[in-house]
Amino acid sequence: MATVNLSDYKPLHITNAEDFSIGIVFSEWNDFVTYNLRDAALEILEKEGVKAENIKQFSVPGAFELNYASMQLCKERKFDAVIAIGCVIRGETPHFDFVCDAVAQGIKDCNILTDTPTIFCVLTDDTKEQSIARSGGDLGNKGVEAAVTALSMINFKRNLSNKTGNIGFGNSENK
């Protein structure tokens, strides 16, 4: 189990983020967590220069429905990346295991069956306290990490398409 904040944000200095188009699908189930994850992702995307009008948000009832919604957004080919946000907290039955496995596989399918990077931002915690700690509490906010990952994957894909071999950001020494 993580015991440190893994979500420390360091600006990426992306030079063309205003052109990025991002779809965010978030679950209404456990909204006390998912709204925090969504809001943190939005904050980072906007800090990095993604225009608010280029970020589209879609809510679904629960984590299981993230698969369908994410795949539909990927198939539309309107988005440079999709971020799937959810939270599943272990209960007293195996339902947790089935949902977590299905969601992970569904998001994986979006990544291998479409050309749109789909980011897995689904907390799968044993307790409500663990979810709170990872959605703006002591252990950071996984929404921050999801936004950074989405931006990184868009940049990767664009550089790959341009065949530059450059996967860095801005004017960094990675070029």
Residues 6+ apart with CB under 8 A from 125: 87, 88, 89, 90, 131, 134
Q: Give binding residues for (2S)-2-hydroxy-3-oxobutyl phosphate as ranges.
A: 92-93, 134
pLDDT over 80 at 171, yes or no = no
Question: Where does the pLDDT of residue 21 fall: very low under 50, low under 70, confident under 90, or very high at 90 and above?
Answer: very high
Describe the crossing of helices 31-47 and 142-162 by its angle, rounded to 10 degrees.
40
CB 128 within 8 A of CB 153: no
Q: Give binding residues as ranges.
A: 29, 63-65, 87-89, 92-93, 120, 134
**Average confidence (pLDDT) over 26-44:** 97
pLDDT over 80 at 108, yes or no = yes
Classified by CATH at the fold level, domain 17-163 comes out as: Rossmann fold (3.40.50)
Q: Which of 9, 22, 2, 10 is nearest to 157 (CA)?
A: 22
Residues 6+ apart with CB under 8 A from 150: 22, 41, 45, 81, 82, 83, 117, 119
Q: What mean pLDDT is reported for the chain? A: 90
pLDDT of residue 14: 82
Rounded-to-integer distance, Cα 122 and Cα 107, Å = 10
pLDDT of residue 169: 52
Helix, strand or coil for residue 63?
coil
| Residues assigned a catalytic role | 95
Q: Give binding residues for 5-amino-6-(D-ribitylamino)uracil as ranges.
A: 29, 63-65, 87-89, 120
- The whole model's pTM is what? 0.89
pLDDT of residue 165: 55
**Average confidence (pLDDT) over 53-57:** 98
